[in-house]
Amino acid sequence: MKLWGLISAVVSLQLMAFAPVMADTEPDPLPYSGVYFILNGLNDQAMQPAGGTAGQNVLLYEYNKGGTQKWQVTRKEDPVTHKPTNKYTIKLAGESTQLYVNPHPIADATAILGSDPSVYILQPDADGFTVRSVDRNGDAMYVISSPPMNPEVHFGPKDETSKFRWKFARADW
């Protein structure tokens, strides 16, 4: 009997020793750096620039997994702890492009391609993420329907509608 009590105590101590490690191994809900298709939660359409040059608007198009719908999403690292943060840069994928998603500096804050790597904060949201612009003091990325044209990507104050929800679908090269 004493042997079973001793074994039970040892097992309990081992489990307590591993408890903090197991608690830290929860899956990270944020995307890792990589190439993604960025889809809007309102209509499941994909972000795509109107053209492949600086100054082009970023619109939503039917999700077709095309090359211009691929975005290089780079997760930033804390310079002190070297741990991943919730801050990202988003640029058009491809070896020869340095075209980042930027909020246009005018009042309506349309998303455009630019050469400056704007920083975004990703916040997990029901079935997706809210994408907030650091440059625009936390304004969130959302979609505006503008028939007969394709929906436009903008930045502004967040509400609880799905037009502010984004999904990141891993792109396979």
Q: Where are the domains of the chain?
A: 30-170
Dihedral angle sign, alpha carbons of residues 15, 18, 22, 24: positive
Q: Can you give the pLDDT at residue 16? A: 40
pLDDT tens digits along 101-137? 999 888 778 999 999 999 999 999 888 999 999 999 9
Q: Can you give the pLDDT at residue 7? A: 44
Distance CA(30)–CA(87), nearest Å, equals 10
Q: Can you give the pLDDT at residue 97? A: 75
Cis ω on the peptide bond leading into residue 148 (within 30° of 0)? Answer: yes
Instruction: Give Cβ neighbours of residue 59 (< 8 Å, ≥ 6 apart).
Output: 47, 48, 49, 50, 149, 150, 151, 152, 153
The low-confidence residues of the chain, meaning pLDDT below 50, are 1, 3-23
Q: Can you give the pLDDT at residue 17? A: 41
Cβ–Cβ < 8 Å for 40, 60: yes
C-beta atoms surrounding 38 within 10 Å? 26
Cβ–Cβ < 8 Å for 100, 118: yes
Q: Can you give the pLDDT at residue 121? A: 97
Q: Which CATH class is domain 30-170?
A: mainly beta
Q: Can you give the pLDDT at residue 25? A: 64
Q: Can you give the pLDDT at residue 127? A: 86
